Structure 1
């Protein structure tokens, strides 16, 4: 059985959502962030040296990294959630899976961290300008791409949506910029209507 080590308010929601969509039996072990530091508890280090989540246990192996977990679970249990490897859409699929943690995540995190630093009185120059420029470039590109689309690839739910949905939902909520990227906002609403997503959110909350 798949075992998911799940940290609240983390990338692990991707895997919880994916497991609910797949319908494969799994066990969930929940961890809570420290109320003061907002960091993962030390107990996660007993599972993986990085002490981060998501981590799954499968076939006697401990596996970290969201993208690797998503690709592995889909390949093993839900190949219908990926395009055929011989199709033209497969390269788009891989691009969007990796876009989530590469192009999209960094400018989002920089903007959030810069907000914290500014509130503490730190004078930001290069980083603030860089983060703003990169965020707008990346999210404008994605917003234009999603114009008229419900999902990222083949107009159906795929692993790319599990990966990218977490990033864009967090970014638009944290930065209050829904009006600047209406197609992304609509895309998020579509994902939130998925029954498997709603189940995952309820599981995390309880």
Structure 2
């Protein structure tokens, strides 16, 4: 997370979210390549991890959830606490400061919450891509720009989207099952491209 943020801010790029997405994608590709090199030395491990690296909720139960539940709850609490400050920041740093918020601290709290939530979710289901990018825009269309309501709706809408994608992945290629991460990428990538082309991606 820190590497992605650092790469996105090189050469004074500031808080451009498009650069952040590109930096994250580049680092993800680099780390996936490193993982592939490590797995080449163990064919059995490669077979076992191949399906997980695409993302799946198959076989994930309460045992796996309980292992990361404290991290998920902590991330959710931090996200909800950061809601008022982030709403103020959407109006600009000067306005947020005038309302008594500290922009640097608010952003650090939000980044910590995101790192905890995304890390815990990935530990359970693998890298199910584009959910965290598409769901907030769908939630914004439903409840508007107030980040306090947006966070709550996103927390409910995200699992619903994953569940629908999982059901669809079991139906489109019957009798086989398409990996969940592939399904979310097929649906989410066009949405992200459309959002970027419409210039509606908010500043961080």
Query: TM-score normalised to the size of structure 2?
Result: 0.28
Structure with higher RCO (Cα < 8 A, 6+ apart): 2
Query: TM-score normalised to the size of structure 1?
Result: 0.28
- Report which of the two has the higher share of strand: 1
- Report which of the two has the higher share of helix: 2
